[in-house]
């Protein structure tokens, strides 16, 4: 129904310059009224995973800088969720126009916030093994100095 109504309005206001562009004008009008076309769920999941990884990297960078930085070094900061969503819209989803980037970033922000910044990420068994090995080495080192540790 919406398409018919919009097409009737477009046809009523077609000029010689816009003749033959009805389909494009209709898609533009629909996108302006109801937002961009829904993206494939898998694409959105990839974008959300990208945002989560970037967020974790930012937090790690800040923590690492805090451990080894002096008072005079500039502080890096974690990017906001809207900044990450904009980046994901451009890099992962390939949005080009400002309107498309803004609309997609808004949707990504909503989903990211609803999930509590936790996306379904497959466990990284290699990372877990490395962490377990590091803890074991620390416990062994502490045991040599007779410092009690919990297993």
Quick one: average pLDDT of 30-49? 74
The verdict on 43 and 82 lying in the same domain is yes
The verdict on 81 and 45 lying in the same domain is yes
Q: Which long-range contacts (CB under 8 A, 24 or more apart) does 53-58 make?
A: 54/79, 54/84, 54/87, 54/88, 55/79, 55/81, 55/84, 55/117
Q: Considering only CA atoms, which of 63, 60, 40, 55 is closest in space to residue 116?
A: 55
DSSP 95: -
In the predicted model, is pLDDT for residue 79 greater than 80?
yes
The verdict on 97 and 133 lying in the same domain is no
The verdict on 111 and 53 lying in the same domain is yes
In the predicted model, is pLDDT for residue 38 greater than 70?
no
What was the pLDDT predicted at 86? 95
Is the pLDDT higher at 82 or at 36?
82
The verdict on 106 and 88 lying in the same domain is yes
What tens digit of pLDDT does each residue of 120-144 get?
Answer: 445 667 777 888 888 888 888 888 8
Residue 131 · residue 70 · CB < 8 Å: no
The verdict on 81 and 151 lying in the same domain is no
Find the domain containing 8 and state its range.
1-34
The verdict on 19 and 86 lying in the same domain is no
In the predicted model, is pLDDT for residue 12 greater than 80?
yes
The verdict on 65 and 23 lying in the same domain is no
**For the chain, what is the domain count?**
3
The verdict on 12 and 77 lying in the same domain is no
Quick one: average pLDDT of 35-45? 69
């Amino acid at each position: 129904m919406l398409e018919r109504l919009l097409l009737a309005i477009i046809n009523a206001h077609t000029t010689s310059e816009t003749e033959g562009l009805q389909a494009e004008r209709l898609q533009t009008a629909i996108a302006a009224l109801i937002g961009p076309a829904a993206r494939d769920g898998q694409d959105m999941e990839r974008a959300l995973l990208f945002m989560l990884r970037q967020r974790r990297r930012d937090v790690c960078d800040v923590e690492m800088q805090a451990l080894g930085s002096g008072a005079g070094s500039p502080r890096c900061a974690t990017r906001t969720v809207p900044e990450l969503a904009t980046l994901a819209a451009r890099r992962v989803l390939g949005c080009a126009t400002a309107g498309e980037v803004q609309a997609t970033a808004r949707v990504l922000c909503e989903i990211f916030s609803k999930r509590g910044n936790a996306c379904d990420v497959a466990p990284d068994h290699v990372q877990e093994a490395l962490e377990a090995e590091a803890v074991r080495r620390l416990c062994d080192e502490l045991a040599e100095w007779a410092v009690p540790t919990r297993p």
